[in-house]
A and B are shown apart, each in its own frame.
Chain A
Amino acid sequence: MIEINNISKWYGSFQVLSDCTTSVKKGEVVVVCGPSGSGKSTLIKCVNALEPFQKGDIIVDGISVTDPKTNLSKLRARIGMVFQNFELFPHMRITDNLTLAQIKVLGRSREEAAARGLKMLERVGLKEQAHKFPGQLSGGQQQRVAIARALAMDPIAMLFDEPTSALDPEMINEVLDVMVELAKEGMTMMCVTHEMGFARKVAHRVIFMDQGRIVEDDTKDEFFGKPRSERAQQFLSKILHH
């Protein structure tokens, strides 16, 4: 479903990503972890071409993101993305947040979009909040709305960039629960997260990044059994002790 082939990216002379290669199969859940600044966000943003890269290629569902003939808007519309800071549109009600792209990008009618949006909102348990503005919701609720907004587009895969790291501890689980359920339903997911409980529960594979490189790309059992690299071992022991 997602094939990342030897991509490298530079900011000026600083290399953020060095020759990264991996893939995510249909229905697979891949967790990406690693120290801050290791390039996790950059890598995941390359998948839907939010970040350009200079070398290599990424193929999503058979379509190359570097091909100039690729319609990037269309491609992005098929990949859901959830951000660390939610990024709901604060000037719009929840309903409009949910329907905007359905109407403008997918060309759905207002009624169809509203029905689909409401269904997704119900799924994340927030149907009563439909007429509020994002600022009136808690962080955990906002992030669940953001997930619903992405799901309303009927994505073929979902990307998560540290979806719980801006949340108060008591709100983390309500978001993880939604993600676990999504994973169990067979959604293809690439998640940057340090929630190792989540990884143990639903991940098929774990990728460990350090200094722009994919240092470790293991099945879940291999990774939690005994990661081969020393950096990954150190990292794991650090976050598991917290």
Chain B
Amino acid sequence: MIGDLDFEVIGRSLPYLLRGLQYTVQLTVVAALGGTFFGTLLAMARLSSFRPVSLTAAGYVNLMRSVPLLLVIFWFYFLAPVIVQSVMGWERPPQIGAERSAYITFIMFEAAYFCEIMRAGIQSISKGQVGAAFALGLNYWQAMKLVILPQAFRNMLPVLLTQTIVLFQDVSLVSLLNVTDFVGASVKIAQRDSRVVEMYAFVAVVYFILCYSLSTLVKQLQRRIAIIH
């Protein structure tokens, strides 16, 4: 069987595979940006001195971080529409579609992880910086946006990017919703043309090249930040 490999299959189906890869990259980027945005809000909520706010945020983050991602994906795809239907009293569950459902799921799931990173980042900024911002008359939101978050973000950039690499790999789980991401596309070709070995090898190589070069980049960035400090 091994003697009978046909890597031509990759070339033949390249446009289809690239469209899958494009979706994977898109979902990763959107989820990373959305996750960073909502994660930052969650981090601010967790650090709030107003208990109901910090407890709610902590509850959400801990829930997301203790449930397997696959379960969260199924939850959002299969159960959330039914829940929305019964809460809103609609006749039918809303038709979100697997691709859009994946966007929402990943943003909400990643927000929990990015929250913890940004929380550490905010806490890494000295209280004196906050004091100086307030002493100049800036309010809480201005101090956060202009003084604290830019520094927290800069300090945490390598960690945020590392989490994004993990996210890039995790995105492949959406193929279980029959979404045509990079893995989904490859699986479909593999089954259609009975070229399982070739396709799975190809996917692995592409993932390796992308992730390895990204993490090399992160390491360089880390070194640069260490020098600035």
Write the residues of chain A forming the contact surface with B, with a CB cutoff of 8 angstroms: 45, 48, 50, 73-74, 76-79, 81, 83, 85, 87-91, 100-101, 104-106, 135, 149-150, 153
Q: Which listed residue, A78, A87, A105, touches B132 by the CB 8 Å rule?
A: A87
Distance (whole angstroms) from the CB of A49 to the closest CB of chain B: 9
A148 vs B132: C-alpha distance in the bound complex, in angstroms?
Answer: 14
Do A76 and B135 have beta carbons less than 8 Å apart?
A: yes
Chain B, interface residues (CB within 8 Å), range: 10 to 19
A-B contact count (CB 8 A): 59
Do A76 and B137 have beta carbons less than 8 Å apart?
A: yes
Question: B150 an interface residue at 8 Å Cβ cutoff?
Answer: yes
Q: Which listed residue, A45, A104, A135, A153, touches B142 by the CB 8 Å rule?
A: A104
Distance (whole angstroms) from the CB of A32 to the closest CB of chain B: 17
14 CB < 8 A contacts A-B:
A48-B135, A79-B135, A81-B132, A83-B128, A83-B135, A87-B126, A89-B132, A100-B138, A100-B146, A104-B138, A104-B142, A104-B146, A105-B142, A153-B137
Do B129 and A89 have beta carbons less than 8 Å apart?
A: yes
Distance (whole angstroms) from the CB of A195 to the closest CB of chain B: 21
Do A81 and B137 have beta carbons less than 8 Å apart?
A: no
- Chain A residues lying within 8 Å of B133, measured Cβ to Cβ, are 89
Do A89 and B128 have beta carbons less than 8 Å apart?
A: no
Which of B129, B132, B150: most chain A Cβ within 10 A? B132
- Chain B residues lying within 8 Å of A78, measured Cβ to Cβ, are 137
The closest CB in chain A to the CB of B135 belongs to: A81
Q: Given the interface contacts A89-B147, A90-B151, A104-B146, does A73 sit within 8 Å of B139 by beta carbon?
A: yes
- Chain B residues lying within 8 Å of A149, measured Cβ to Cβ, are 136
Do B137 and A74 have beta carbons less than 8 Å apart?
A: yes
Distance (whole angstroms) from the CB of B117 to the closest CB of chain A: 18
Do B128 and A85 have beta carbons less than 8 Å apart?
A: yes
| Interface set, chain B 131-174, CB cutoff 8 A to A | 131-139, 142, 146-147, 150-151, 154
A89 vs B138: C-alpha distance in the bound complex, in angstroms?
Answer: 13
Q: Given the interface contacts A50-B134, A74-B137, A76-B136, does A87 sit within 8 Å of B150 by beta carbon?
A: no
- Chain A residues lying within 8 Å of B134, measured Cβ to Cβ, are 50, 76
- Chain A residues lying within 8 Å of B147, measured Cβ to Cβ, are 89
Do A153 and B132 have beta carbons less than 8 Å apart?
A: no
Do B132 and A73 have beta carbons less than 8 Å apart?
A: no
A74 vs B137: C-alpha distance in the bound complex, in angstroms?
Answer: 6
